[in-house]
Each structure stands twice: as C-alpha cells, then as structure tokens.
Amino acid sequence: MIAFLQLHAPALAVALPLAAAILLLALGNHAKRLAGFLFLAGLLSGACFAWATALRVIATGTPVDYVFGAPAGAGPLDNPAGIALRIAFRVDALGALCLLPAALLSCLAGHYSCASERVTTGGAFFRPLFLLLSAGVYGMLSTGDLFNFFVFLEITSLSGAALAAYRVDGGLATEAGFKYAALSSLATMAYLLGAALLIAQYDALNLRVLAQALNSHAPTALDTMAMVCLLSALLLKCGAFPLHQWVPDVYSRAPGGVSAFLLVSSQASLYALFRFAFALFPQFARLNGALLLLAGAFSMFVGVTAALAQHDVKRLISHHAVSQTGYMLLGAGAGLWWTAGAAGEGTLATDALASGLFHMVNYALYNSLLFLAAGAVIAATKRRDLDELGGLGHRMPVTAACFGLGAIAIAGLPPLSGFASKWGLYVTSFRLSPFWAVVAMAVGLMTLASFVKVFHSVFLGPQKEEFASVEEAPKAMTFPLVVLAVLTVLIGLFPGWTFDRLLGPAAAVLTGGAQ
C-alpha cells in the first residue's frame, strides 16, 4: 500500500485535489459539513503527496520520473518505438524546491479562506476553484511535457481568474478577473503557438527530448520565434515588466487568501520561465540573460515607484509583488548570462540563480503573509484606505506583529529571510556589474520606506474611535500568519542550511552543475 502510494505520489498530488473539486461541484449547496471536510481533505492530501515527492527528490538527490500508464519505473522513452508517447511527470531538485512552498501555501491559504469567506461573504463557492488552482500549480511544477504544461497553465489561469472575480464587488472584482482571464488567454495562445512551432520541427513534446533536439544544431528561425512566444507568454503570466499591468488589479481585488495563492501560481510560471530559458534555449543565453536582467531591473523600479504612491493597502502590496518578481529575474538573468561565459564562471551562474530561487521561496512566504494580514485587517475594519486606517496595533496585536515581520522581510532588513536572499542577489549582481547591485539596493531602500509608511499608518498611532470595537481576527486566520512569520524568521536565521540542502542542487539542475 505504502509502496503504491509512494510510486504514484506525483500523480496523486494532482489527481486528488481535482477529484475533490469535481465532487464538491456535484454536491453543490447540499451537505455543508461534508463539503467542508472534502475541501480540506482534497487540499491536505494533494499537499501531502506533493511534499512526499519533493522530500524524496531532496533526500535521494535523484529526480522522480512518473510516466502515466507505463509500468513502474519506466522512463518516458522506454517503449518499442523509442519515442515519448505518454505524458510524463518529472520532479527534479528545482521542481521539488518550488513544490515545498506551493503545497504549504495551498493549505495555509485554503484554511485562511474558509474562515475569512465565512466572515465576509458567507459563501463557499471558492472551494472547488481553489482545489483546481492547487492541482494546476502542482501539475505545472511536476510536468516534464510541453503540452501538458499548457493544460495546467490553462487550469490555473481559468480557476485563478474565477477566484479573483467571484466576489463581484460591484463589478470591480469582475473587471479584474476579466482582465486577468483575457490577458492569460492571449498569453497561453502565444505559448501554444510556440509549442506548435517546436512540435512541427522536432515531433516531440517531452522537455528533455526537445532540449536535446534543439541543442544538437544551430538555432533555426522557427526556434527563435518559438522562444519569443514561449518566454513572453510566461513573462506575462509571472507578472513582470513590461507585461505586469494586470498584477495590481487582480491581486488587490481578490480576497486575501486568494491573492496569497494566486501569487504561488505566478511563481509556477516563473519556474517554467527559468526552466525554458536555461534548458531549452541555452544557445540564446547571453540575449535572454540580458533581457531578463533588464526586465528585472525595470520590474523592480516600476513596481516600487508605483507602490510609493498608493493609498489602498492591498494595491500597494500588489505593486511590491511586481517589484519583488524583478529581484528573481535579476538573479536568473545574471545566472543565464554567466552560463554562456568562460568555463570558470559556472559556479557564479549557479550562485546567482540560487539567490534568485532563494528570493522566490522567501517571497512566496512573506508576500503571502502580507496579503493574508492585509486581508485580515480589511475583513475586520471593512476599510482598505491607508488614510482611514490607523491604531490597529491595539486591537489586532497578532496580525500587527506578523505583518511587521513580513514587512521587515520584504524590506530586506537582517535577520529575516528577505535579507538573506537579497544579500545574495546584491553580491552576485555586483560581480556582473555594480549597476545592477545599485538598482537592487535603491529599490530595497524604497521598499523599506514604503513599508514603514504602511505599518505606521495601519497599526501604529492612537486607537481610533471607529475601530474601538474591532476584534482580532479569528484563530483560523491568525494561525497561517503565525506559521508563515515563524518560517520567515527561521529561514532568515539559517540561510546556509537552506542554501546547501535545497537551493544549490536546484540551481545546479539548470546551470549544468549536476545531471
């Protein structure tokens, strides 16, 4: 039994949340307790299997291959014809690194949403969509197949847009959802176009087979077109400059728990962007590296300057999401630039990419912490304008403390996790050119200024009369906050452990240091 579960863990992580979502839809509005149980069971079982797969990969140091419908242990090419016919999952150190925070956040954000939606809307429509989104994210992170990735990308896009829009909110949430769905569908069509151009030339969908085929000769014009389509689609989905306009609308209008998990689905696109740029198109490493560095620097700068002018607390954090994505692109861009360089620059490439990935994990934890805390404040006060909020530290001490820790982490102050990864990015980008490091540090200072303002105007100051009856958020909502805050502190205190165990192997997968 255990061997069976272990063998099929990569597939079960996707299948169980999907099955739970379909059952929940069939239940409709009946059997409320059973529905709640199904929701949590689907989320938890999916997360457990995702964790089991990821931990197995990290513990053994070898990737897990899972080929649908094939005998146990068979690789994607193990058939008489020697071609990749079946859909194959492949979780390597990089996928495992991304699965860990994704699975954790699906549970925390789902738990939080159950409580917060009971307070604010009383409905539970979000449950099947949330399960679909988590299944889609696990699929994107585990698949080793170009088209299968497209299907999961569409599942996350559709369920993410529906989640962002389901509250309607006088049409504002619907507008954000429409924008997200329309832009996502343009992006996914560009992705499919790029995939079609690759299939037409190489008759393959498996990523490893494609990588080999692509790099056995000088790139053709169609390869270049395919690369532009694939990478720009993923750049839009991860919310980076110049395709970031949907980010503030969608994240700020979605409920707190939903924005926290939508951010994870954007991270899954970022993961694919890194994987494709490094593994499929290494012949364009210099060009792509330069473009990612530029996109990163602009995302950082544009995001943070837009955030400085904001008065809506969630919109402000959403602009910071763009800015933080820029840091990760900076790390990956520097890494990509160095992979094309002289032989001695391999470790530099691995270090730069590892810092970018470190920031990706930290960002997923602290930015969702900020979204959840802001959602708790909005749910308690029914206000989201910084000028109207104030003095809430007296009434909501736990939320205030957790938000404070998240704010310190995003601003990059020691000793929290944001400092550890930003420090790595400063050092590695400085080696490339001091310019990038200076931009990153300047943006870090502006982030600090912005969050000093937020924390001050929401939580500090004398208690306001209209908030005298505000209560601390229920335990079901503060529990995820505390977990995330503790993790942010722990990673900040022990960055070396995280770096050696998780990040080094993950970055080496792409920069060629291993396998």
Beta bridge partners of 312: 385
CA neighbor of 504 nearest in space, from 388, 352, 397 = 352
The verdict on 253 binding other proteins (CB under 8 A) reads yes
Of 81 and 342, nearer to other proteins (C-beta) is 81
Residues 431-460, one symbol each (x = binds other proteins by CB under 8 A, - = not), give ------------------------------
Residue 205 Cβ, how far from other proteins at the closest point, in Å? 7
Using CA atoms, how far apart are residues 192 and 490, in angstroms rounded to an integer?
A: 41
Among the listed ranges 17-25, 70-78, 177-185, 275-283, the one in contact with other proteins (CB under 8 A) is: 177-185
Residue 24 Cβ, how far from other proteins at the closest point, in Å? 18
Residue 329 Cβ, how far from other proteins at the closest point, in Å? 23
Task: Classify burial at 62, counting beta carbons within 10 Å of its beta carbon; exposed 0-12, middle 13-18, buried 19 or more.
Answer: exposed
Whether residue 282 is preceded by a cis peptide bond, meaning omega within 30 degrees of 0, is no
296 with 327: CB under 8 angstroms?
A: yes
What is the phi/psi pair of residue 77, to 5°?
Answer: -100, 0
The verdict on 239 binding other proteins (CB under 8 A) reads no
State which of residues 178, 202, 423, 430 lies at the interface with other proteins (CB under 8 A).
178
Structure tokens that stand for 141 in this block: 């992170």
Using CA atoms, how far apart are residues 261 and 467, in angstroms rounded to an integer?
A: 29
Using CA atoms, how far apart are residues 261 and 137, in angstroms rounded to an integer?
A: 10
Q: State which amino acid sits at residue 386.
A: L
Would you tell me how many other CB atoms lie within 10 Å of the CB of residue 36?
Answer: 15
Residue 199 Cβ, how far from other proteins at the closest point, in Å? 6
Using CA atoms, how far apart are residues 375 and 381, in angstroms rounded to an integer?
A: 10
CA neighbor of 277 nearest in space, from 345, 341, 324, 227 = 227
State which of residues 79, 120, 121, 174 lies at the interface with other proteins (CB under 8 A).
174
State which of residues 68, 147, 423, 479 lies at the interface with other proteins (CB under 8 A).
147
Of 92 and 145, nearer to other proteins (C-beta) is 145
The verdict on 199 binding other proteins (CB under 8 A) reads yes
Of 192 and 491, nearer to other proteins (C-beta) is 192
Residue 89 Cβ, how far from other proteins at the closest point, in Å? 17
The verdict on 506 binding other proteins (CB under 8 A) reads no
The verdict on 294 binding other proteins (CB under 8 A) reads no
The verdict on 254 binding other proteins (CB under 8 A) reads no
Residue 471 Cβ, how far from other proteins at the closest point, in Å? 30
Whether residue 434 is preceded by a cis peptide bond, meaning omega within 30 degrees of 0, is no
Structure tokens that stand for 393 in this block: 């530290």
Residues 49-88 contacting other proteins, CB under 8 A = 83, 85
Among the listed ranges 37-45, 195-203, 347-355, 488-496, the one in contact with other proteins (CB under 8 A) is: 195-203
Residue 479 Cβ, how far from other proteins at the closest point, in Å? 31
CA neighbor of 324 nearest in space, from 308, 301, 354 = 301
Of 311 and 456, nearer to other proteins (C-beta) is 311
Structure tokens that stand for 261 in this block: 């998990």
Q: State which amino acid sits at residue 387.
A: D
State which of residues 122, 170, 344, 496 lies at the interface with other proteins (CB under 8 A).
170
Pairing mode, strands 64-67 and 88-91: antiparallel
State which of residues 45, 185, 215, 463 lies at the interface with other proteins (CB under 8 A).
185
C-alpha atoms less than 13 angstroms from C-alpha of 125 in its C-beta half-sphere: 13
Task: Classify burial at 382, counting beta carbons within 10 Å of its beta carbon; exposed 0-12, middle 13-18, buried 19 or more.
Answer: exposed
State which of residues 19, 196, 476, 483 lies at the interface with other proteins (CB under 8 A).
196
- How far the first Cα of the chain sits from its last, in Å, is 31
467 with 474: CB under 8 angstroms?
A: no
Angle between helices 434-459 and 417-432 (to 10 degrees): 160
The verdict on 472 binding other proteins (CB under 8 A) reads no
State which of residues 114, 163, 176, 454 lies at the interface with other proteins (CB under 8 A).
176
The verdict on 200 binding other proteins (CB under 8 A) reads yes
Of 80 and 170, nearer to other proteins (C-beta) is 170
357 with 400: CB under 8 angstroms?
A: no
The verdict on 171 binding other proteins (CB under 8 A) reads yes
The verdict on 222 binding other proteins (CB under 8 A) reads no
Dihedral sign computed on CA atoms, order 122, 127, 133, 138: positive
Among the listed ranges 55-63, 148-156, 262-270, 477-485, the one in contact with other proteins (CB under 8 A) is: 148-156
The verdict on 151 binding other proteins (CB under 8 A) reads yes
Where does 170-238 have alpha helices with state H?
172-202, 207-214, 221-238
Of 158 and 264, nearer to other proteins (C-beta) is 158
State which of residues 127, 244, 314, 315 lies at the interface with other proteins (CB under 8 A).
315
Of 157 and 457, nearer to other proteins (C-beta) is 157
State which of residues 1, 218, 309, 342 lies at the interface with other proteins (CB under 8 A).
309
Residues 6+ apart with CB under 8 A from 492: 409, 414, 415, 416, 417, 418, 419, 420
Where does this chain bind other proteins (CB under 8 A)?
Answer: 83, 85, 147, 150-151, 154, 157-158, 161-162, 165, 168, 170-172, 174-179, 181-182, 185-186, 189, 192-193, 196, 199-200, 203, 205, 248-249, 252-253, 306, 309-310, 315
